[in-house]
Chains A and B, each alone.
Chain A
Amino acid sequence: MTHKKGYPLWEVFIRSNRGIDHKHAGSLRAADAEMALQNARDLYTRRSEGVSIWVVPSNQIVASDPDDKETLFDPAEDKVYRHPTFYSLPDELEHM
């Protein structure tokens, strides 16, 4: 995907105040990592959404092929025993 000025695309991940993981927030254009972080701050944290930002060049992300969806994901559907719902969890165990 080309842009009129050639700024590459970046993916933005934000960790919210109470969150323990960074979640995908969206994407943006920036010339380099420093600009990407500043832009991410301006675009995706202006309503107090986050306390930490990751930016990743979009072309560094390797994605699964949508055509592989059935092959990759359907076989898991009838294997309910893989969910840990058949065990009782100790109360001390958080973030499950």
Chain B
Amino acid sequence: MSTPLAPTKNDLYAYTLRQADNSMVLCQRLCQWAARGPELEEDIGLTNIGLDLIGQARSLYQYSASLFDRPVDENDLAFLRDPHEWSNLLLVEQPNGDFADTIARQYCYDAWHLPFLEQLTASNDTTLAAIAAKSVKEARYHVRHSSMWVKRLGDGTEVSHRRMQDAITAVWPFIAEMFIADELDQRMLEIDVGVDLRALQSAWESQVSALLANATLSKPIDVKAIVGGRQGQHTEHLDDLLLEMQALPRSMPNHQW
């Protein structure tokens, strides 16, 4: 049996859309911090990361749109799909909570996203590889920023330590999903287009364990994983997020500034 060299258009569309959805949803979460940051400086820091993510999302949506079997554009994909059509990880849609919750979510994602992108730069698909090459520098800064805060808050005051620990515990059920490869991931991996998600896990765990230890935080154990994002089974938080994000384009279709 010969291995197909190129993915089907549908597979490539769906695979690209997953990555776009991750960036878009997390961007929307970070933008919700605008004007609410704990410090003016951090307010801009978080929204800068959001801007990086929306840049990545746009490139990925444009590519997805070019692969779709009907004429659509990036805006249709971002603003006109219902929650069950979104394929982002459950982690990124979790609410902002307090600053520690946001940082826990961000760090756990960044520590996954960076090696994910590093692998994707070697993709057989030249467009995905090019988008990854551009994004990888941004992700390198993101993980530096979020890991700094995990350490500061964990190893900070009694209150910041407690909040950071609670936040790590709260995001932990959503970690396992990042490393689960479904059939699409498997097919994309076999033809060297996609990323080997399982291979990311051990590096992620050792890196995160080291930082948590450094930050005097403990790693949650025996946590029951919650999964389903890639299959469109989301937590209720995505509904609220999309309701807000899509309100304007849905109420005024094709509106121009």
Contacts and interface: CB of A to CB of B under 8 A. Distances in A.
- Bound pair: A and B? yes
Chain A interface size, as a band, is: 10 to 19
B96 interface: no
Interface stretch (A30-38, A56-64, A66-74, A85-93): A30-38
Given A42-B45, A42-B48, A46-B48, A35 B148 contact: yes
B44 A42 contact: yes
A6 B159 CA distance: 16
Given A7-B39, A29-B39, A43 B148 contact: no
B178 to A, nearest CB: 25
Contacts of B40: 29
Given A31-B152, A43-B44, A38 B144 contact: yes
A38 B48 contact: no
A28 interface: yes
B41 interface: yes
Contacts of A5: 39
Contacts, number: 27
A32 B39 CA distance: 14
Contacts of B144: 38
Contacts of B39: 5, 7, 29
Contacts of A41: 141
Contact of B145 (A29, A38, A43, A46): A38
27 contacts: A5-B39, A7-B39, A28-B41, A29-B39, A29-B40, A29-B41, A30-B41, A31-B152, A34-B148, A35-B148, A35-B152, A38-B45, A38-B144, A38-B145, A38-B148, A39-B41, A39-B42, A39-B45, A41-B141, A42-B41, A42-B44, A42-B45, A42-B48, A43-B41, A43-B44, A46-B44, A46-B48
Interface of A: 5, 7, 28-31, 34-35, 38-39, 41-43, 46
